[in-house]
Structure 1
Amino acid sequence: MKRTFLLLSLALVAMISSLSAKAAIQATEVYPAAIGQYIQIFQPDGSDFNVHDALRAFKSGRFRPSQSEVMNFGIGARPVWLALEIINAQPEPMARKLLVENAWLDKIDVFFLREAQLVNSFHTGDSLPFAQRPVDHRFFVIEHAFTHGETLVLIRVEADDAMVLPIYFTDAGQLANKDLLDAYSYGLMYGAILALVAYNLVLYVGLRINTYLLYSIFLLSFIALNLAYTGHGYQWLWPESPFWQRWASAILMAAGATGGFAFMLQFLDIKQTWPRLYRLIVIGCIGFCVSVLVAMLLDELVIALLISIVFIFSFYVAAVILGIVSLRIGNEFAKYFLIASILTICGGIITANAVWGVIPFSELTYRAADIGMTLDAVLLALALAARFNITQGEKLAAEKMAGIDLLTNLNNRRSFYKYVQPIWSISLRSKSNTSVIMLDIDDFKLINDSYGHALGDRVLVKLAEALQKEARSGDILARWGGEEFLIFLPETRLQDAVTIAERVRNKIGSMQVSSAKGEKLAISASFGVASNQDDYVLLDELIANADQQLYRAKKQGRNCVCADFS
């Protein structure tokens, strides 16, 4: 009875095991998804396990069926053997490609067997120069013509990095379409990010603001890391350096995290807001980078990768926490940084879960980290642009305030020369008429002494308002000093300037200011007018002549207009 039960149990286990493995691949069919569920797996304990040992293990049933489309064995896994049966029911050979969509596998040995006899083999991987790959591709592509009947494919994979194996069975047309889509998407992403890099470098060169430089470095470090783990770097930039390809991901992850921290500290003003935290973060970044270098010197790639992963994880955790805190204390730009960081984290989580098989593996889920980082870059660029606009607005406002007399809201001398000098130069070249009116409030010192400076200030403000109302479009007003004012009149002859001065004098003469006791005070002013009819070369000479005419008006009894018509 027990013997029967044991036999039934073994038969049931064998039946379940056979049901969990899909049938062999048909060479004539199309397989758009990864074919992990058609593959059987075996991980031997010894490193000297060769293809003949693998064939014997397969025949004896020691391989187990894969349970997912994309196989994942983690970081630092033992070498793994894969078995795949392919049947060609057609009499003619069928040329097909095996695509291992992973750019960081150290060694891949592929053996094609028919009736237990080796008919073809390929050896590739990052441990070899890129030129030795069977097909010029950023991933690992193996071509083989499958003859009529059944072919057993044995694949040995070795990697210190994450051994993720999305394997596709495809043909030349399908692979070309997939490559074209990848080319467009990566071209769009790299183009957009490099445009942001160029734009921010130009801003840095022009403004010398470190935030733009650090943002550019942060984006460049992301591109460098992306080029490394997508295989583009090995294909285009360092095809003869297997050593750098082996270490690129770990080193560039650390570099990316360092660039991210540097930009974050600058963007969120951490040094000014929390100087102790700033020092702690700087020390932490140095510690992570030194740890990666030490692991590199000791040739411990797995340890270096784990340190770099923790480093990047620490950056995004810190970015979210500091973004929230900065936002709560009033840093309006922190919201951009916070949203950007959350998008990147979400993208990274989706990609990680797709790679680990928690969610379905697809082009979208695998590229989610790229999408998140691209959105991160765009949001931070918008934040920097908004910050630039506000900074420039504040700068222009400050410059404007520096050129404005705060009491009367008229130009001061500095601002007057800034606006007038170009117009004066044009008038000299065109030999056009230009005039200047200088006026001075009569008995202003007496007003201050008798009624106080507060009333004197009110007189100045009231007179400035009158000047602004009477001035023509294009005339430039300035408080020249104390109770003196200046009006620059382009394209104006001397006689017309005198007429304008008389109109302003009458306007001022009709004004009254009430004292604190309700007493009505009349205001008057004296005017001096000068024109460039005498071919003044210097603007200051014209102003000096107007000042002389003002002095004449004072001597003639005040409240009048004087000009030299000789």
Structure 2
Amino acid sequence: MTRRLWWLALLWCQFLTTGAQAGTIRLAPGQDSYNLNASADVLEDASRRLRIENVVAGGAANAFKPPQQGLSSFGFTDSAFWLRFRIDNPEPAARRMLLVLRTNWLDTVQVFSPDAWGLYTEQRLGDTLPFRERPYAMPQLVVDLQVAPGISTYYLRLTSTQAFMTPIELWEPESFHQNDRLWSAYYGMVYGILLVMVLYNGFIWAAMRDRNYFFYCVYLIAFFMMNFSYSGFAYQYLWPESPRWSNWSHTHWIFLFLAMAIVFSMHFLESRTRLPRMHRLLQAYLGVMLVSWIGVTAAGDTVAYNAAPVYFVFGCTPLILAAGVAAWFNGYRAARFFVLASMATLVGSFFTALTASGFLPYTFANFHAAEFGIMADVVLLSLALADRIRTLREQREAAELREIEQRLHTAAVLEQSNEELERTVLERTAELARARDEAERFARIDALTSVANRRYFEEVAVQEFARARRYDQPLSVMVMDIDLFKQINDTHGHAAGDIVIQTVAAVARESVRDADFVARIGGEEFCILLPDIHLEQAMVTAERLRERIARCTLEHGGHPLVCTASFGVSELAGTDLSFGALLQRADQAMYAAKQAGRNRVMAGSPAGAAPQAPHGAGEG
């Protein structure tokens, strides 16, 4: 009873205060939603120490300020903010409404609702809590309100170390769920377009190996992760039990998106050769951004950490646009689509960044302008890439045509002078070439398995090692040895051993890419070169090959033959001075797999470290 009397005294003090009064929202029949930002009074709590008792009555109650023309963003700040609003329910019965906060990354949201005794009950939400604690499983923060008849005063306490945006709405439940379905359809359209473009350009990159398509795919994926994160879907679907990572990951995705935008722009515009000064400027901006990324991450200032990438948007997009314009004026035809795409991204990113930074009020168009920009960007950059391919093809065809014309002219002159002699020379040259190719083939191919022999393998390995070094590309090597091969020979004879070796070679050829190089380097030992492949993917390839060999069903003389193989895999390291070091690590890993029980895959580690844990199952 004492507590209730105390609360009634507080409410009486509130009634007597002469400060600013909260705006009143009158629930009207037929109206489904209400914008609270235009009606809620605001109180900034820089110390974060005010409690509901302080803001209901007393000096803090008089410090509320009226809304600033619906502005729903406070930029980046450490302060807590209190919002006060009143709801007038003219109906005789309580009415259920949904309080919706569109910003999903608010750290804490405390909703204080009056009860029948005039006391305040608290509901707590925010992205510092696990996702499962939300009353509604959706990205935005949604709270049930039972609005009593008459006028009720509500309070919100909000904190956020990220962009402090607070678009707040009041909805009829059924109307809100219908509206939410439209939001889901909108995001489904955006992400669907991004997925289609990633797959489309990814297939082109896989077919043509043009690095521009690769960087463009990474650029689109980075935008998707950035948008998926700050839209709240990543927290809902990817890491719902990791609120700390959800809070910290927003900044990483934005920095990654900006970095990939610069890297893609430099490669597409060929700035190193076409625009050397602009190339150095882009490199410098990228370096400053990466250093800032590391700096704000290590500093521990969460406000600066979240604000830094947003402010880098203001410099990144104009710089990219300037590079595109410079390339266009320099005669690079494909840059014209690039400039239009950059302009779309520039406008969209600016509006979104201005909204997040507190310079523009939150509206659907303002906050989602970056998404509209990326949709135009996707279409225009795809046209730019296609136009670039067409330009290169036209140049190549023109060069080929000139070369053909020159050859035809030379051939005509020679034909007029000594046609018979040329025909004889060509015939004998062709015969010699065929004989040489046939001899070279027999010298390089293993007669039993028809794969490359050790001599040919060593030649190709040295070339691949030099190429990987020169162009800073990955290179992996796989060594495999048939397990217990001597027992197969001793038990079933050498003919059975030959069948096993031939089968293993055939399975190896079928299990790797055309770009990979299979060779038999010893009696039962094989080696496979894997260009442009990192260790993790090489391990997956080795594991797939190991399983296929183990599943092979062989027979000789009516007796079944069972064979397995042990694998060692290693990747080119910066300390490798020759291919021999790379091969030695793979060989050591293979022997480690043998010692660990055979029929498994192990990875070699550089600098003599112990091989990594095996994959696969031993023989028992």
Change (3 A) 1:375 1:326: same
Cα distance between partner residues in 1 of 2:244 and 2:421: 73
Tell me the CA shift for residue 158 of structure 1: 0.3
CA contact (8 A) 1:27 1:94 kept: no
State the match for 1:423 in structure 2. none
State the match for 2:200 in structure 1. 199
Cα distance between partner residues in 1 of 2:59 and 2:166: 20
What percent of counterpart residues are identical?
24
Q: Deviations over 1:370-396 (max 9, x none)?
A: 101110121001111122233344445
Q: What does residue range 378-389 of structure 1 map to in structure 2 within 5 Å?
A: 378-389=379-390
Q: Deviations over 1:76-111 (max 9, x none)?
A: 241011112122222222111000111211111111
Normalised to the residue count of structure 1, the TM-score between the two structures is: 0.66
Change (3 A) 1:390 1:219: same
Change (3 A) 1:371 1:405: same
Tell me the CA shift for residue 112 of structure 1: 0.4
Cα distance between partner residues in 1 of 2:117 and 2:288: 54
AA at the equivalent of 2:376: L
Pairing 1:99–2:103 present: no
Runs of 5+ unmatched residues, structure 2: 1-16, 428-620
State the match for 1:75 in structure 2. 76
CA contact (8 A) 2:75 2:356 kept: no
Q: Deviations over 1:214-260 (max 9, x none)?
A: 00111111111111111111111121111222122211111011100
SS at match of 2:69: coil
Tell me the CA shift for residue 16 of structure 1: 11
CA contact (8 A) 1:27 1:146 kept: no
Tell me the CA shift for residue 23 of structure 1: 2.8
Cα distance between partner residues in 2 of 1:409 and 1:68: 81
Q: What does residue range 60-209 of structure 1 map to in structure 2 within 5 Å?
A: 60-114=61-115, 117-118=118-119, 120-209=121-210
Q: Deviations over 1:179-229 (max 9, x none)?
A: 122122211111111111111111111111110000011111111111111
Cα distance between partner residues in 1 of 2:117 and 2:411: 98
Pairing 1:281–2:282 present: yes
SS at match of 1:313: helix
Pairing 1:331–2:332 present: yes
Cα distance between partner residues in 1 of 2:412 and 2:256: 52
Mean Cα deviation higher: 83-92 or 161-170: 83-92
CA contact (8 A) 1:70 1:164 kept: no
Change (3 A) 1:32 1:356: farther
Change (3 A) 1:54 1:27: farther
Give the length in aligned residue pairs.
411
State the match for 1:431 in structure 2. none
Cα distance between partner residues in 2 of 1:24 and 1:334: 53
Tell me the CA shift for residue 152 of structure 1: 1.9
CA contact (8 A) 1:254 1:312 kept: no
Cα distance between partner residues in 2 of 1:237 and 1:285: 29
CA contact (8 A) 1:70 1:355 kept: no
Q: What does residue range 218-233 of structure 1 map to in structure 2 within 5 Å?
A: 218-233=219-234
State the match for 2:314 in structure 1. 313
Cα distance between partner residues in 2 of 1:344 and 1:23: 40
Mean Cα deviation higher: 322-331 or 117-126: 117-126
Change (3 A) 1:88 1:29: farther
Tell me the CA shift for residue 31 of structure 1: 5.5
Change (3 A) 1:218 1:60: closer
Change (3 A) 1:74 1:361: closer
CA contact (8 A) 2:96 2:172 kept: yes
Cα distance between partner residues in 1 of 2:410 and 2:233: 61
CA contact (8 A) 1:31 1:168 kept: no
Q: What does residue range 115-514 of structure 1 map to in structure 2 within 5 Å?
A: 117-118=118-119, 120-275=121-276, 277-353=278-354, 361-395=362-396, 406-407=407-408, 444=417
Tell me the CA shift for residue 123 of structure 1: 0.7
Cα distance between partner residues in 1 of 2:70 and 2:191: 29
Change (3 A) 1:383 1:394: same
State the match for 1:525 in structure 2. none
Cα distance between partner residues in 1 of 2:164 and 2:412: 71
Q: Deviations over 1:481-527 (max 9, x none)?
A: 589999xxxxxxxxxxxxxxxxxxxxxxxxxxxxxxxxxxxxxxxxx
Cα distance between partner residues in 2 of 1:42 and 1:480: 99
Cα distance between partner residues in 1 of 2:199 and 2:25: 52
- The list of structure 1 runs, each at least 4 consecutive aligned residues, that deviate by more than 4 angstroms after superposition, is 14-18, 57-60, 352-361, 393-405, 408-412, 479-486
Cα distance between partner residues in 1 of 2:94 and 2:412: 89
AA at the equivalent of 1:214: F
CA contact (8 A) 2:82 2:156 kept: yes
Cα distance between partner residues in 1 of 2:226 and 2:212: 21
Change (3 A) 1:247 1:391: same
Q: Deviations over 1:150-184 (max 9, x none)?
A: 32211100011111111000022221222122122
SS at match of 1:163: coil
Cα distance between partner residues in 1 of 2:411 and 2:388: 30
Mean Cα deviation higher: 136-145 or 65-74: 65-74
Cα distance between partner residues in 1 of 2:354 and 2:308: 20
AA at the equivalent of 2:202: L
Tell me the CA shift for residue 274 of structure 1: 3.7
Cα distance between partner residues in 1 of 2:117 and 2:371: 44
Cα distance between partner residues in 2 of 1:72 and 1:57: 27
Q: Deviations over 1:25-70 (max 9, x none)?
A: 4275626452212111112343221111121248943322212224
SS at match of 1:164: coil
AA at the equivalent of 1:198: L
SS at match of 1:152: strand
Change (3 A) 1:401 1:483: farther
Cα distance between partner residues in 2 of 1:27 and 1:234: 35
Normalised to the residue count of structure 2, the TM-score between the two structures is: 0.60
AA at the equivalent of 2:79: R
SS at match of 2:24: coil
| Structure of greater Rg | 1
Cα distance between partner residues in 1 of 2:381 and 2:281: 24
SS at match of 2:138: coil
AA at the equivalent of 2:85: L
Q: CA RMSD in A?
A: 3.3
Cα distance between partner residues in 2 of 1:280 and 1:325: 13
AA at the equivalent of 1:86: I
State the match for 2:533 in structure 1. none
Change (3 A) 1:358 1:253: closer
Cα distance between partner residues in 2 of 1:60 and 1:105: 23
Runs of 5+ unmatched residues, structure 1: 1-13, 413-439, 446-459, 461-478, 487-566
Change (3 A) 1:155 1:15: closer
Tell me the CA shift for residue 360 of structure 1: 6.5
State the match for 1:11 in structure 2. none
Change (3 A) 1:220 1:130: same
Cα distance between partner residues in 2 of 1:57 and 1:333: 66
AA at the equivalent of 2:130: P
